[in-house]
A and B are shown apart, each in its own frame.
Chain A
Amino acid sequence: MQSIHSLLRRWPVWSLTSLFAVSTWAATQPLGERVTTLLAQQAPATAETERAERMARDALERAKRAAASEQAALRESADVLVETAHEWAQLRAELSELDKLEKRSVEAQARLQELDSQLKREQAHLEETEARRGRALAELEKLAPTSPSSTATPETELQP
C-alpha cells in the first residue's frame, strides 16, 4: 500500500519519463513509418481529410520511386517528398483536431444558449413572484395595516 502511495507521489517523474520515451521513439522512427502511423489514426471522413490522406500516400509513393531512380536529381528530392508526405499526414491529424475543437465550440455555444433561456425564465419567474408578493403585501396592508410588516421580507433583501 505504501509503495503504491510512493509511486503515486512520484507521478511527475513518471509522466516526464514516459513523455521522453515517447518522443525518443518518435524521433528514432523513420519518417516514412511515422507517416503510416499517422495515417492509421482515426479521422473524420470529410473531403479535406480524405484529400490529405490521398496526397500523403501519393507523396510517399513518389518518394519511393525517386529514391529508386537512376537520376541523381530525382534521388535528391526523395527525402523532401517523404517530408511532404509527413506534412500531409500532420495536416490530416490537425484537421481531425480542428473538427473536435469545432464540435466542442458548437456544444459550448448550445449550452450558452440554453443557459441564456434558463436565465430569462428565472428572471420572468422572479418577476412574477415579486408581483405576487407585492399583491399579497398590498392586500394584507388593506386587511390589517400594521400586521404584515412583521412577516414581510424587506424589499432590499430580495434584490439581485
Chain B
Amino acid sequence: MTARLPGPPPSWLVLLLTCLFAACASLPRPVVLDRSLSTSKSTAMADVQQRAPQAFARAEQLRLKAEEALSNDKPVLSEALAEQALVAFERAALQARMVQVRQRLAKTKVEVERRTQQVAELAALQTRAAEATKQLELRLEIEKHALPRAAIEPGGGVRRATARVEAARSIVQSAQLLCVAAKLLAPENATVVRVLREVEDLASSLQTLQPHEALAQAMDARMRCLTVLSEVRSEDRTLSSADPADALLSKLSPSLAELRPHRDDRGIVLTAYDIWSEAGELTRQGRELLDRIVPIARTNDLNMLVVVYRDGKQALPRAPNDLEQVLLSAGIDASVQVVAELPSLLEVSSGQARQVRTEFVLVTQ
C-alpha cells in the first residue's frame, strides 16, 4: 500500500489566503504619528506639562484623536491630526517658555522696585549726612581760624622781611577774593561790606606796615573773610538741601575737564589760560568758553567771580570791566578782579606759567 503524498495547493487557494492575510494586516502607521508620540513622551515635555498643563492636554488630545483615526482606518485624517498635534506640542512648549519669562520678569520687577526704594532711602540718608557733615566742617573751619594765632616776632633779617611782605600780599589778596565771594552771596550784609572795606584798606596800607605786622594783619583779615563767608553760607543753607557745590562739581567735571574744575573756599573754580588778546580783549576761544560757562551759572543761579592773574611783564587786559558788564547783562551777579599773579597750587606747565591765568569762580552757597 502506498501512501498518497499531498500535492502542491491549488493556485486559487494560495490567492484566496493572500487576500485574506492582506485584508487582516493593520494599516502602516504614519511617521508623523510616531513623532507626535515620541514628542509627547519626551523628557522636555514633562516640564512643559507642569508649566502649561492646558496647552499640553490639548496637544495630547489631538494626538489621541490621530491614534483613533488610524484605528478607524482613516490614515490620511490620522496623519493630518498628528501634524496638528505636533504643532500644538510646539505651542505648549512655547507657552511654557512664556510662563518662565513672565515669572522671571515679575521677579525682576519686584527687585527693581525694591532697589529703587533702597536707592531713594540711601540718597535721603546721604543728603542728611552730607548736610550734617557740611555744618560740622563749617564749624570746624571757623573754630580753627578762631584759634589764637602764635605771635609773629619782629626781626629776622632782610630776606625774612621780604618773604613776610610777599606772604602778606598774597594772603591779603586771598582774603579780598573770599570777601568778594561773600559779598556776591550777600550784597546787603553790613558785616561783609565792612570787612571787605577793612581788607581793601589793609591791602593799600600794607607797604606802610612793619613786615611782621603786615603778615599778622593779613592772616587776621583772611580769617575774618573766611568767617563771614562761612556765616553767609550757613544763613542761606536749608537743612533739606544736599551740598550743591559737590553735586555741581561732579556734573561739570566731565564736560569742562580741560578747565580743571576744583573746589576751594569760594566755590567751584574753572581755570583758563591765555584767553586775552594782545589788545587785551577776550579771544574767540575766551568768548566760546564764556558761552559755555554763563548758561551753567544762570541755570544754577550762581554768582560769578572772575579773577584775572597777571605778573609784571604781562599787559593788563583791558576787557575785564567790559566782561563784568557782559555778565551782568546776562543776568549774572559778577565781580571781575585783576590781581597780581601768586604762586599757584595747581601744577602748571612752563608754557602755561607764561600765560595770563583766568579763574572763573562759581560762588556756591
Are A136 and B140 closer than 8 Å at their CB atoms?
yes
CB of A50 closer than 8 Å to a CB of B: no
Q: Is the interface of B mostly helix, strand, loop or mixed?
A: helix
Are B108 and A105 closer than 8 Å at their CB atoms?
yes
CB of A77 closer than 8 Å to a CB of B: yes
CB of B111 closer than 8 Å to a CB of A: yes
CB of B109 closer than 8 Å to a CB of A: yes
A98: chain B residues at CB < 8 Å are 94, 97-98, 101
Are B84 and A136 closer than 8 Å at their CB atoms?
no
Interface centre among A84, A109, A158 (most CB of B within 10 A): A84
Listed stretches B122-130, B215-223, B270-278, B350-358; interface member: B122-130
Are B108 and A112 closer than 8 Å at their CB atoms?
yes
Contact with B along A19-51 (1 / 0, CB 8 A): 000000000000000000000000000000000
**Bound Cα distance A101, B137 (Å):** 51
Are B95 and A94 closer than 8 Å at their CB atoms?
yes
Are A101 and B133 closer than 8 Å at their CB atoms?
no
Are B122 and A123 closer than 8 Å at their CB atoms?
yes
Are B140 and A125 closer than 8 Å at their CB atoms?
no
B76: chain A residues at CB < 8 Å are 73-74, 76-77
Interface centre among A119, A136, A137, A148 (most CB of B within 10 A): A136
- Name B129's contact: one of A88, A102, A126, A139 (CB within 8 Å): A126
Are A84 and B84 closer than 8 Å at their CB atoms?
yes
A113, chain B: closest CB distance, angstroms: 10
> For window 111-140 of chain B, which residues contact chain A by CB distance below 8 Å?
111-112, 115-116, 118-119, 121-123, 125-126, 128-130, 132-133, 135-137, 139-140
Are A76 and B101 closer than 8 Å at their CB atoms?
no
Are B80 and A81 closer than 8 Å at their CB atoms?
yes
Are B125 and A97 closer than 8 Å at their CB atoms?
no
CB of A115 closer than 8 Å to a CB of B: yes
Are A137 and B94 closer than 8 Å at their CB atoms?
no
- Name B90's contact: one of A91, A102, A123, A148 (CB within 8 Å): A91
Are A87 and B84 closer than 8 Å at their CB atoms?
yes
Are B136 and A152 closer than 8 Å at their CB atoms?
yes
CB of B74 closer than 8 Å to a CB of A: yes
Q: Report which A residues bind B (CB closer than 8 A).
A: 55, 59, 73-74, 76-77, 80-81, 83-84, 87-88, 90-91, 94-95, 97-98, 101-102, 104-105, 108-109, 111-112, 115-116, 118-119, 122-123, 125-126, 129-130, 132-133, 136-137, 139-140, 143-144, 147-148, 151-153, 157-158, 160
29 A-B contact pairs sorted by A residue (CB < 8 Å)? A73-B74, A77-B79, A81-B80, A84-B80, A91-B90, A94-B94, A94-B95, A94-B98, A98-B98, A105-B101, A105-B105, A108-B108, A118-B115, A119-B118, A122-B119, A126-B126, A126-B129, A133-B129, A133-B133, A136-B137, A137-B136, A139-B140, A140-B140, A143-B144, A151-B135, A153-B128, A153-B132, A158-B125, A160-B122
Q: Report which B residues bind A (CB closer than 8 A).
A: 74-77, 79-81, 83-84, 87-88, 90-91, 94-95, 97-98, 101-102, 104-105, 108-109, 111-112, 115-116, 118-119, 121-123, 125-126, 128-130, 132-133, 135-137, 139-140, 143-144, 147
Pairs A-B, 5 closest by C-beta atoms: A115-B115, A153-B132, A77-B80, A87-B87, A80-B80
Contacts beyond the supplied A94-B94, A123-B122, A140-B136: 14 A-B pairs with Cβ under 8 Å = A73-B76, A77-B76, A77-B77, A77-B79, A81-B80, A98-B94, A112-B112, A115-B116, A115-B119, A126-B125, A126-B126, A151-B136, A153-B129, A158-B132
